[in-house]
Amino acid sequence: MCNINVGLIIQHILCSVKGDFKISRKINDAPKTVIIAEKIKYLRTSKGITQKQLAEALGVWSVSVQRFEYGDARPSLDTLIIIADYFEVSLDFIVGRTEKPEINR
């Protein structure tokens, strides 16, 4: 017999029905979102810049950077590319697929 977490499935369905996709997304994507959040904060603090300075460089609101770093929102692919280019690291590094920040060109 399979071990199925019925509570998680019900919570996912209820969240989807209610339109509360934020909770549903966090259940399914939490590890990825946390990794991205940690990498963005690490890169920003390593460079010694504020959230506001990073936001200006990315062309987003300061609160967006804050939400990226807290894991409350995940940057779009376009924004991830801009972040990678700004810090001169690979997308694989930002999303946790490698610990090597170098870009392979």
In a domain, 103, yes or no: no
In a domain, 25, yes or no: no
What is the domain count for the chain?
Answer: 1
In a domain, 19, yes or no: no
CA atoms within 13 A of residue 19's CA, in its CB half-sphere: 0
In a domain, 23, yes or no: no
* C-beta of residue 19 within 8 angstroms of C-beta of residue 27: no
Question: What is the token pair recorded at 63?
Answer: 């609160």
In a domain, 64, yes or no: yes
CA distance 69 to 20: 21
pLDDT, position 17: 42
In a domain, 20, yes or no: no
In a domain, 70, yes or no: yes
pLDDT, position 27: 40
| pTM of the full structure | 0.69
CATH number, domain containing residue 76: 1.10.260.40
Domain boundaries, position 53: 30-94
pLDDT, position 4: 56
In a domain, 9, yes or no: no
pLDDT, position 82: 96
Residues 7-57: tens digit of each pLDDT: 545 554 544 444 443 433 444 556 788 999 999 999 999 999 999 999 999
Residues 55-99: tens digit of each pLDDT: 999 999 999 999 999 999 999 999 999 999 999 999 999 999 989
